Amino acid sequence: MATDITLNLQRHHVTIAEAMRTIISFDGEGRPIVAFRHGTNYVRGLSGEVLLKRALAPGQKERRKLPTDERRALLAELLADARRMIERIETEAPPAACDWFERIRRWDVERLEAERERFHAIYKPVSILPPDQYRALVLQATEGCSWNRCHFCTFYRDRAFRIHSPPSFREHIHRVKEFIGAGLGLRMAIFLGDANALIIPQPRLRELLRVVHDEFAIGPDADFKGIYAFLDIFGAERKTLAEYRELAAFGVRRIYLGLESGDETVFRLLNKPGSPAEAIEAVRTIKAAGIAVGVILLVGAGGERLAAEHVQHSLAALAAMPLGPEDIVYLSPLIVPPDSPYLAQLQAHASPPLTETAISAQLEELKRGARAVIGTGAKVVIYHIEEFVY
Ligand SMILES: C[S@@+](CC[C@H](N)C(=O)[O-])C[C@H]1O[C@@H](n2cnc3c(N)ncnc32)[C@H](O)[C@@H]1O
Ligand code: SF4
């Protein structure tokens, strides 16, 4: 085999690399999923969006979704690179590789780009997932956010909240399966979309979870290790310990809550539903049911004047939660959406927004503080919302 080309065949994906300068991985259908080229990383999501990630300077990264022209040009280059590498190694490659090469060669730019429309016929945009769930299989049991009024969050503004009926959810799942095809092998968890699927009243949620179990094997030894979902605190106060235990029995492994701030004033300024105290209570109940949690804090929330309280009370809220090694604390640096009411709220509280440098400093403070209050237990992870592509 050409000595500068390496081929890594896995059960559900394959990677071809040339002198480690160009590296491209493909899913079971032969679609490019991640690539490294000219010092830049790319991730192509199931939606057909491509995310670019590049280190600019120590601690500084460029992260952006490629616009159409750039995306099409990149895909053409990746496919050409892949064909060239395959041509050089195919006569000497192991027999198992030939089938992969066929699958990769089936794709051209037009066909890859046509996947975008197919995706949008099946899914509402998958706006965000927790970082440890980027490779989950998303099933939209609900669409949108039942609250949709937090001042900083514009993820679901484009759609009304709705809950699928069991038959329409089953149909959604069938269409997802058909679309993803052999790419399914890469997905090891199920994420119930969208923003707060666990707000679904228990009788309906039970029916929808039964549909998921009819369609997929879920368990520690199955292909899908568990079910995951977001929950806003407004919804959390409504489920009982017995109901969470039932969810645990259905394979729900971790629930993600956007606490954002442990400080009452900041919390209200953000217009989050519920309260920090209810969030602590919800975490206790969820943990008592044997389900792990992901708690999200919004770095920079509340601006300059409220910064010290935001940090102090957020750390106190974490300290009051029974977090263990299976739990994760996420720190999400606030990105102020241009069309959000957040800045007007800051003005009303006479608290100027934090600069990027001040947000970075608060991130470090929260990271150190969170590690100290939760000891060696839960993980503390940075949540960059611009790094997400599904
Ligand atoms: C879908 S949202 C939250 C899920 C759930 N509905 C809740 O409120 O708990 C996921 C997380 O994205 C983060 N997020 C939303 N908008 C953001 C923004 N403009 N800048 C930074 N993080 C943001 C928040 O920390 C939020 O908890
Ligand atoms: S932060 Fe959560 S509850 Fe608030 S609008 Fe966004 S998705 Fe909805």
pLDDT in tens, 278-297: 999 999 999 999 999 999 99
- Is the Cβ atom of 147 under 6 angstroms away from ligand 2? yes
CATH T-level topology, domain 123-387: TIM Barrel (3.20.20)
Name which of 384, 336, 347 is nearest 363 in CA terms: 384
- 252-266, 316-330, 376-390: least confidently modelled range: 376-390
Q: Closest ligand 2 atom to the C-alpha of 232?
A: 3
- Is the Cβ atom of 16 under 6 angstroms away from ligand 1? no
- Is the Cβ atom of 153 under 6 angstroms away from ligand 2? yes
- Is the Cβ atom of 232 under 6 angstroms away from ligand 1? yes
Summarize the confidence of residues 233-237 as an average pLDDT.
69
Amino acid at 244: Y
69: CA distance to ligand 2 center in Å?
32
Q: Which residues touch 322 (CB under 8 Å, ≥6 apart)?
A: 283, 284, 287
- Is the Cβ atom of 296 under 6 angstroms away from ligand 1? yes
pLDDT confidence bin for 378, thresholds 50/70/90: confident
d(CA 334, CA 310): 13
Measured CA angle at 49 (ends 48, 53), to 5 deg:
135
d(CA 139, CA 123): 9
Residue 238 clears pLDDT 90, i.e. is over it: no
Q: Closest ligand 2 atom to the C-alpha of 155?
A: 6
**Do residues 380 and 329 make contact, with C-beta atoms less than 8 angstroms apart?**
yes
149: CA distance to ligand 2 center in Å?
7
Average pLDDT, the chain: 95
pLDDT tens-digit profile of 250-259? Answer: 999 999 999 9
Q: Which residues pair with 297 in a beta bridge?
A: 260, 331
d(CA 278, CA 259): 10
- 24-33, 230-239, 336-345: least confidently modelled range: 230-239
Residue 247 clears pLDDT 90, i.e. is over it: yes
Q: Closest ligand 2 atom to the C-alpha of 148?
A: 5
pLDDT tens-digit profile of 173-187? Answer: 999 999 999 999 999
Q: Which two tokens stand for residue 168?
A: 């329409």
Output the pLDDT for position 377.
Answer: 77
- Is the Cβ atom of 318 under 6 angstroms away from ligand 2? no
Residue 349 clears pLDDT 80, i.e. is over it: yes
272: CA distance to ligand 2 center in Å?
7
E-strand ranges in the chain read 5-9, 13-18, 22-27, 32-37, 40-44, 50-57, 60-65, 137-140, 142-143, 162-163, 190-193, 227-231, 252-260, 292-299, 328-333, 379-382
Q: Start-end ranges of CATH 3.20.20.70 in the chain?
A: 123-387
Output the pLDDT for position 189.
Answer: 98
Output the pLDDT for position 235.
Answer: 66
